[in-house]
Structure 1
Amino acid sequence: MTGTAADLEARAPGPVEGPPDLRLVVPALATWGAAAICLTADVPVVVAMCAGGVVAAGGLALAVRVLAVRARARRVPAGRPRAAAVAAAVAAALLCASAGAAVGGLAGAQTRRGPLPQLARQYARVTVEATVTGDPRVTRPRARGAVQAAPAVVLEAEATRVVTAQGAATAVRTPVLLMARQSWLGLLPSTRVRAEGRLAPPSRQGDRIAAVLRVRGDGPPQVLVGPSAAQRFAGRLRAGLRTASDGLAPDARALLPGLVVGDTSRVPAELDEAFRATDLTHLLAVSGGNLAVLLVLLTGPPHLAARAERRGLAGRLGLPLRLTAVLGGGLVLGFVLVCRPGPSVLRAAACGLITLLALATGRRRSLLPALAAAVVLLVLYDPWLARDYGFLLSVLATGALLTLAPRWSGALRRRGVPPRIAEALAAAGAAQAVCAPVLAVLASRVSLVAVPCNLLAEPAVAPATVLGFAALATAPLAMPVAEQLARLAGWPVLWTAAVARTGAGLPGAGVPWPGGPAGALALAAVTAAAVLLAPRLLRRPWACAACALLLLLAVLRPAPLERAVTGWPPPGWRLVACDVGQGDALALAAGPHTAVVVDAGPEPGAVDRCLRELDVDTVPLLLLTHFFFPRFRSVS
Structure 2
Amino acid sequence: MTGTGPGEHAAGVAGGSPPPSGRVPAARDLRLVLPTLALFLVTAATVGMRPAAAAALGVVLLMSAVIAVVWSTTNGAASGIDRTALGVLAMACALGATGAGVQAARSHALAAHPLMSLAGARTGVEAVVTGFDRPVRSGGVMVPVRVEVTGSGESARAADLDVVVLARDGWRGLPPGTRVRASVAVLDPLSPGDPPGLRALTAPAVMGEPGLSGRAPAAVRERFRMVSDLALDGEAVGLLPSFVLGDEGGVSTETRDEFRAAGLAHLAAVSGANTTYVVGAVLLAAAALGAGRRGRIVAAVLALGGFVAVVGPEPAVLRAAGTGAIGLAALSAHRTGRPLAALAAVVLLVALLDPATATGAGFVLSVTATAALVLTARSVAVRIRRPWMPGPVADVLAVCVVAHLATLPVLMASGLEAGPWSLPANIAVAPAVPVVTVLGTASAALGPLWEDGAVLLAAACTPALWWLDTVAGVTAALPGSPDLTPG
Structure-2-length-normalised TM-score: 0.80
Which AA in structure 2 matches 1:31?
L
In the aligned structure 2, how far is the partner of 1:489 from the partner of 1:245?
10
In the aligned structure 2, how far is the partner of 1:443 from the partner of 1:170?
41
* 1:378 equivalent among 341, 344, 350: 350
Which AA in structure 2 matches 1:157?
V
Cα deviation code 1:184-229 (max 9, x no counterpart): 111111111010233232333321x2x3332224x4x211111111
Structure 1 residue 50 corresponds to structure 2 residue 58: yes
In the aligned structure 2, how far is the partner of 1:279 from the partner of 1:406?
28
Contact 2:36 2:345 in 1 (8 A): yes
Contact 1:192 1:223 in 2 (8 A): yes
In the aligned structure 2, how far is the partner of 1:380 from the partner of 1:358?
25
**1:91-102 equivalence runs, <5 A:** 91-102=90-101
Which AA in structure 2 matches 1:140?
R
In the aligned structure 1, how far is the partner of 2:332 from the partner of 2:378?
21
Structure-1-length-normalised TM-score: 0.63
* Matching residue of 1:226: 209
* Matching residue of 2:308: 336
**1:173-572 equivalence runs, <5 A:** 173-207=160-194, 209=195, 211-217=196-202, 219=203, 221-247=204-230, 248-300=232-284, 312-313=285-286, 316=289, 318-321=291-294, 324-325=296-297, 327-341=299-313, 344-358=316-330, 361-364=333-336, 366-400=338-372, 427=402, 431=406, 434-435=409-410, 437-439=412-414, 441=415, 445-447=419-421, 450-451=423-424, 453-507=425-479, 510=481
State the 1:383 CA deviation: 0.6
Higher CA-based Rg: 1
State the 1:138 CA deviation: 2.0
Contact 1:343 1:385 in 2 (8 A): no
State the 1:428 CA deviation: 8.4
Structure 1 pair 494–442 and aligned structure 2 pair: CA distance change class (3 A):
closer
In the aligned structure 1, how far is the partner of 2:400 from the partner of 2:457?
31
Gaps of 5+ in 2: 1-9, 13-25, 386-392
Which AA in structure 2 matches 1:240?
R
Contact 1:474 1:482 in 2 (8 A): yes
Q: Give the secondary structure class of the aligned counterpart of 1:250.
A: coil
Which AA in structure 2 matches 1:224?
M
Structure 1 pair 274–287 and aligned structure 2 pair: CA distance change class (3 A):
same
State the 1:437 CA deviation: 4.7
Gaps of 5+ in 1: 1-14, 72-77, 142-150, 301-311, 414-418, 513-579, 582-600, 604-636
In the aligned structure 2, how far is the partner of 1:432 from the partner of 1:353?
17
* Matching residue of 2:112: 113
Which AA in structure 1 matches 2:160?
R
| Identical columns (%) | 33
Structure (1/2) with the larger helix percentage: 2
* Matching residue of 1:135: 132
In the aligned structure 2, how far is the partner of 1:154 from the partner of 1:177?
6
Contact 1:274 1:504 in 2 (8 A): yes
In the aligned structure 1, how far is the partner of 2:164 from the partner of 2:266?
24
Q: CA RMSD in A?
A: 3.7
In the aligned structure 2, how far is the partner of 1:212 from the partner of 1:279?
26
Contact 2:121 2:186 in 1 (8 A): yes
Which AA in structure 2 matches 1:182?
D
State the 1:34 CA deviation: 2.0
In the aligned structure 2, how far is the partner of 1:405 from the partner of 1:425?
9
State the 1:438 CA deviation: 0.6
Q: Give the secondary structure class of the aligned counterpart of 1:184.
A: coil
Contact 1:396 1:434 in 2 (8 A): no
* 1:158 equivalent among 141, 146, 151: 146
Q: Give the secondary structure class of the aligned counterpart of 1:318.
A: coil
Contact 1:409 1:425 in 2 (8 A): no
Contact 1:111 1:175 in 2 (8 A): no
Contact 1:401 1:430 in 2 (8 A): no
Q: Give the secondary structure class of the aligned counterpart of 2:455.
A: helix
Structure 1 pair 35–329 and aligned structure 2 pair: CA distance change class (3 A):
farther
Structure 1 pair 343–502 and aligned structure 2 pair: CA distance change class (3 A):
farther
* 2:74 equivalent among 66, 69, 84: 66
Which AA in structure 2 matches 1:283?
L
Aligned residues, how many?
455
Cα deviation code 1:381-405 (max 9, x no counterpart): 3210243133334444554565578
Q: Give the secondary structure class of the aligned counterpart of 1:157.
A: strand
State the 1:366 CA deviation: 4.2
State the 1:43 CA deviation: 3.2
